[in-house]
């Protein structure tokens, strides 16, 4: 399947744990409240929440609509949302740590959550010690997204001293896989419903849920991280 790769770079949100529809709704509400209460967007709660959902559909980013329609600074909505982002509803995957430890390759995290929220999530799902010193936020590179250019991926590779061609990048959002592929990474999409997005030329492999990917890795671990 995936030959000769020495490093796996994981997305965090909705990859190393599942954002259920119920949790997604809570996150939408947190974005709406942040826009209204912290940033002064002149909308009532229900209208703001509807805007967040529209923003995800159009931009694959719940806060982007407030940037484009209300002139909110991208950094401000990024920070305001993460200040309110809850961690306690997250349900950790069973035995995920053991499955990750069994992979014979270096592993890192690259997330669109803030570094502080990444740390809280990793502690909550029992992966903090495993990824300590090896998890990165977009804010570490003075940006707030992973789907705007290849530059942030090149910066990440320089930071962790790896060649992109030696990396597998795993993400649930297909829009975050185009630029890793552009610089030579092998790309893996984790999906949950029926939309694998395998038709997109920059997606090399697609697996329904992280466990199906890990099972494939465990069947031929030397071929994954050879």
Residues 103 and 79 in one domain: no
Residues 117 and 136 in one domain: yes
Tell whether the model's pLDDT for residue 5 goes beyond 90.
no
Q: Compute the C-alpha angle 155/188/108, nearest 5°.
A: 45
Residues 111 and 73 in one domain: no
Residues 108 and 160 in one domain: yes
Q: What is the DSSP letter of 219?
A: H
**Inter-residue contact 104 to 225 (CB < 8 Å):** yes
108 conformational bin, left if phi > 0, alpha if psi -120 to 50, beta if neither: beta
> What is the model's pLDDT at position 225?
61
Residues 55 and 117 in one domain: no
Residues 71 and 127 in one domain: no
Answer with the one of 35, 54, 84 that is the final residue of a domain: 84
**Inter-residue contact 184 to 215 (CB < 8 Å):** no
Q: Does some domain include residue 157?
A: yes
Instruction: Please state the domain count of the chain.
Output: 2
Residues 191 and 103 in one domain: yes
E strand or H helix that includes residue 79: helix 74-84
Whole-prediction pTM: 0.93
Residues 61 and 110 in one domain: no
Tell whether the model's pLDDT for residue 199 goes beyond 90.
no
Q: Does some domain include residue 148?
A: yes
Q: Does some domain include residue 166?
A: yes
Render pLDDT for 134-186 as a digit per residue (tens, 0 to 9): 999 999 999 999 999 999 999 999 999 999 999 999 999 999 999 999 999 99
Residues 105 and 44 in one domain: no
Task: Round to the nearest angstrom and report the end-to-end CA distance of the chain.
Answer: 11
Q: Does some domain include residue 142?
A: yes
- What CATH number should be reported for the domain holding residue 198? 3.40.50.1000
User: Containing domain of residue 194, as a range?
Assistant: 7-17+92-224
Q: Does some domain include residue 103?
A: yes
Q: Does some domain include residue 1?
A: no
Return the percentage of the chain with pLDDT > 70, whole number: 93
Tokens read off for 98: 């053991």
Residues 127 and 217 in one domain: yes
39, burial (CB in 10 Å: exposed 0-12, middle 13-18, buried 19+): middle
Q: Which residues contact 24 (CB under 8 A, 6 or more apart)?
A: none
Q: Does some domain include residue 56?
A: yes
Render pLDDT for 106-138 as a digit per residue (tens, 0 to 9): 999 999 999 999 999 999 999 999 999 999 999
Q: Which residues contact 146 (CB under 8 A, 6 or more apart)?
A: 110, 112, 138, 152, 153, 171, 173, 176, 179
- Give dist(CA 212, CA 190) in Å, integer: 9
Residues 75 and 112 in one domain: no
- Give dist(CA 186, CA 147) in Å, integer: 16
Residues 51 and 75 in one domain: yes
């Amino acid at each position: 399947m995936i030959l000769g790769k020495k490093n796996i770079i994981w997305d965090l949100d909705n990859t190393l744990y599942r954002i259920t529809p119920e949790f997604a709704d809570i996150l939408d509400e947190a974005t709406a409240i942040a826009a209204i209460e912290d940033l002064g967007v002149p909308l009532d709660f229900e209208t703001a929440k509807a805007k967040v959902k529209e923003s995800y559909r159009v931009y694959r980013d719940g806060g982007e609509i407030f940037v484009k329609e209300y002139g909110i600074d991208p950094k401000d909505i990024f920070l305001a949302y993460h200040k309110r982002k809850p961690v306690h509803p997250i349900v950790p995957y069973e035995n995920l740590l053991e499955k990750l430890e069994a992979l014979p390759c270096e592993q890192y995290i690259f997330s669109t959550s803030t570094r502080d929220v990444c740390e809280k999530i990793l502690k909550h799902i029992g992966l903090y010690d495993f990824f300590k010193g090896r998890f990165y936020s977009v804010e570490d590179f003075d940006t707030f997204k992973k789907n705007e250019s290849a530059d942030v991926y090149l910066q990440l590779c320089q930071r962790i001293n790896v060649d992109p061609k030696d990396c597998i990048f795993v993400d649930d959002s297909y829009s975050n896989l185009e630029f890793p592929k552009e610089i030579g990474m092998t790309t893996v999409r984790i999906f949950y419903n029926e939309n694998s997005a395998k038709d997109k030329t920059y997606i090399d492999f697609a697996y329904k849920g992280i466990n199906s990917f890990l099972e494939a890795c465990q069947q031929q671990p030397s071929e994954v991280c050879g």
